[in-house]
Structure 1
């Protein structure tokens, strides 16, 4: 219906006939009602199709209304839902909680809760309910708008679990973790443990508080930290080593990982700090150990469990001659010499494979083929589980040490044999003194045409040969009397060269190569000649088919390097004389015995075995050294080193004074009856008056009883009192007493008895008449 103002209105017309001709129209304006109904239809439509679940519930819990989303989410039809209660939809909801909840809803007008209903298929999901209270007529209703928050709950649970997990990891981390924004705003328990403080102490402070003024490299901590912070905030993570200070001021080294993290849209720094003090200490120890291994003088070899070399130190390279590159990947057989048999190596490997340490001496071979004597310690390497991972070998080169020990043993042997030989020669000299002396007296008393004279000559000739033998023994034992004087070795060789050539066969070429500088030594000329004759004779016999014999001289300087290399000598200048031949040479066993007295490789009757022993003794008596280098079929070289002197004077022959007698009183003290008798007979024959003493004690007593004795002749070795003791007592009686010592030993042995050199005169046995008389007269005429 249209109103006068043009507005259209909805009306309800009721027509009632009064009679056939009249009726009553009732017009009711239902415009508002229509609008309300339309609104209700729209509301119903909206509620039915809303995405949220909408359910109306009565105060007894029965469902009054459910929209499409509720039906769809719960899996029930509308008819099914309208016949159910909330306790059927959510069996977990406690009935005793319903009344308090409804009371609260009525009082407050609204209620917000979360429930977990069960779908028709039995699955459970989460709903967030926003309920409003509605009272209509006699009924009370709750209009519940429900939203499925299952995914949100899962996300929240996941986030909560992540946060819990992060917090657990954060707190249980083995490294210190700090969250920094200008100052420290968060840290884990490890941080407090590492820095030795409580959380209140560390929070709100800057990292500079926990850093020294300067870092290990000299950088200022504040400047360096600021630079790293800027770089990190620019998106460049930082990883570096840093020196921190604990709360008590002690410093420690750490590795720091600095990254930028976003928290609620703001940039923060996360610092993960690892204390590397122990690692740095371990690294330093490993560095020192590595340096020690690299610089060790001993060979160090490390192999794997199969024995393949993994590492060798520089000492291995220096000693064996193999480079590290050549050795790695090889086995220790690389230096095997072939000296040891299979059983030796089987024992070695069985020992170390069984987990034990093998120690012993082993002979290996250098790259150049020369042999090395080594003391070795080989140990198995085990991991923490006790499994074998490899082997380590420590070897010390004792080649020179073995050589020195061999030389020492040889020297001891030579000393012992020399002492024995000297003792024999001394006793034999006493016998020869009497033999030669009395034979000479007999010779002097015999007529020149006596038929017995040739026999006496033969006795004297044989005695001279015996004396030569004793001189050889004394030379070997370094007890032969010698007269030292400055001698140019070059001059001595030139003077004897012609004689030496006469010793050689025509097929031997004698060559000399003498040093251009002076080669002056303190030596006994006759002894040097004997060395040359003996060595040349030996070389000749070693070259039956001819060859080359070379005599050379040089001046060498012995220093520590020389002594360390060759194993003998003392610092200073030495004259070297070498005698080399191209003969048969000799093996090691022969070289060991070559200087032994009476040792010879010559045929029976072709040598005494004293030639080289004599050379050895003479060299030692001259404070020199002798070496021999020889191999079978490679010839032989003898090298003699004698101390050089600055003197340029040469040895001159002394003229033997004429034999004269006298009438002075002489005391002769000699324990050997034959020698004493011979001496007294000779001296008496030449006019001297004689007093005899059989030992040192009688000599002192006789000197004390006869105050007018002009000369005392003392044997150096006597019973009761030796020559030195008797000499000292005699000089105590008369400091001006003149004494002549005699001995079958060298002058050095007499000195060893305690007599000061320069305060006595000396004559060597065997005594020859003319030499004895000349020496006595010389002393008496002073």
Structure 2
């Protein structure tokens, strides 16, 4: 406190003397001169008295001396006065210069306050342009602070406490204005009056806004740097240009536990490395610490280096050193223990794997799943990317920046994490030179001695991409060609939607491309009854079947039907995947009409070919029937033997019906009725018939596993096909032999060889008939399925048998094939697709003898008296009451009476203009009428021509026997 007081007194004295120095000094000099003159005067006078001078002389000398003594002080006074004035002016000039220099360099404002701390004076620095605001005078410092700064109550309370204590303060910083932000730093000293009373403060202030904001930014950057360094999974240390530690993270310290406490700012790199080595932390340094220190320091001071060494705890670390621009360096430490273990494991299998890996012309890499660091790369990686093996091993893809697209990298990580593999993922990679290349990466997670790694292969497909772009241009040209082609072209996608429809298709159908775009081709443009077949054709093409041609009816805009012969080809994308079907067509509507006319003409011509065989077969049938009747007549006393010959007559009639059915199918007068049926049951059902037909000199066998799946086929046509093949086999063995029927399940695969008919892949039932006959030559095999082709003599064959079998198999969505060797025999095989699971097998085809008629009354309508008599007898044998009518008119008259009739059994075609269908319509018009059973030699054609009666009548094909009549009537009865 005394020192402060002394300082203040000294200041006050200097201040006072500074104003009065000239007069004080002058007065002091004059007084001193006067005193000296007086002393000198008295001394001279005393000397004169003691001398020999007279008194008058002494008085005169005294007067002169006195005058001199008076003049001398005055002269000295004026001389001192002039010198003092000159020096004061000089000192004042020097002080002004120094004050101006201080103003220009020390602050932006000088300020004073009164004793209540209100600003009373403000002087701005004109050099800096910081001029004071007039509205500040009379205010407190805190009146000019921003609300945000005033919120720091503790700071302002402390500042006010200093002011109240009348103490000096230094560098008090506060925000002066929030908009725009301005920060001020102020320093001040208290001022006291002469009487010691406090008079206020005087001080300086500076605008430090730029400095303050810069410091905040630096502080934020420092915090971010510290956060980033702390968050790093790797060990990190920063050194200055003298190799002194600036900062390091916790992970860095963990690698060197023995010198952890020494890892503080200012510690030398070499000293720390030596201390760690001497403590035994570094296994590689054991035995020769000096040499290891020398090597590690050289690498630290290099521009960039990477070293791998092992720690005492077994960890392997990768030490990376990089010099930075300011001369300092950065140290990075990575735990690569997993990498080293994986490397050791990799070396165990390298003999088997290395050649394929490193010789692969495509880029191959192996990296760990845990941290993505590369374990190995092949030569192609170095050649194509430009990154050396040493630069890559231990680094991550992010470290070298090989993937320019972060989204691609993230998607790759997600997919391989979810699926453990990636297949041909399209992306881009960056070479070391910065060039962007295209790739299609495939990768899989593999295990290398307990460490999960990613084996990746990413070929450089840049040239392929360029080719694809050229292909796209070609596709655009092709699209132009499609639209200008003269043939109708339709392209559908996998959903069956139309994506391309050219001008020729528009010309045929009348529909424009805009009208059909993305419409379902089959559902909307193929008539309903052809839908299923068209779907099968398109599905086969969609599944990659070889191109095939098929006629598909297409609806036209004017309501007509155009028949187009389409050739279907799968449409593939650039990856080889089927994305649709291309159908290139030919309008064959007019051609088909001409062919139909030609076909009718050819049928007339075919009569000549058929007559011999048909006449022969019917003569044989008549011969058997006539001869059997004669035998029966002679065997009246032997009923058992008569039964045998009666059975022969029944079988002969069945053969006649079969021949008729073949002729109807050939003339397209009979449609197939596919149903779910087991082929084995059909074979066993006609087993006895086949054995008697084949004769005793042929050994007959059947092989059919139990529980084979059913097929979809027409039952009667399947029977006929089996009989036809067996008869052909018998004829091929005139001297006897072996004939076998084999039924088995087979599977056709998509890539099956020998699938000449392009059957869809799936499960099939194969029914084969084999013989040990003469066999067929190549020419016969080539034409065996052709209509009218036969090797039999004229009158012994029609040439329709195998042709009809083949047609039946194709209509059943299967096929037929022949294998034959001359001198060894022939095998004819029929292939049928398995029936869908929801289709139930047909009921047994064997006669149902358990049915007992209920005594119902049947009205039999038949114009042929012989047929009527036979049928009437059969119905009575079956237990029914019979009423007969010889015409449709008579039948209607009987129905108009009150006679109770349960079933009307009528022929279809009768004279008089009233057919069986007319009778059925009359009955259907009156609810509660009798059931109707019609008999016809053309059942399917008749049914098709009278579709209005679907479900109201049942048609029984001619010829029929008692068993078939019973079965048909049993289905009608409740």
Q: Same fold (TM over 0.5)?
A: no
* TM bracket, shorter-chain basis: 0.3 to 0.5
Question: Between Structure 1 and Structure 2, which shows a larger proportion of helix residues?
Answer: 2
Q: Which has the higher contact order (CA 8 A, sep 6+)?
A: 1
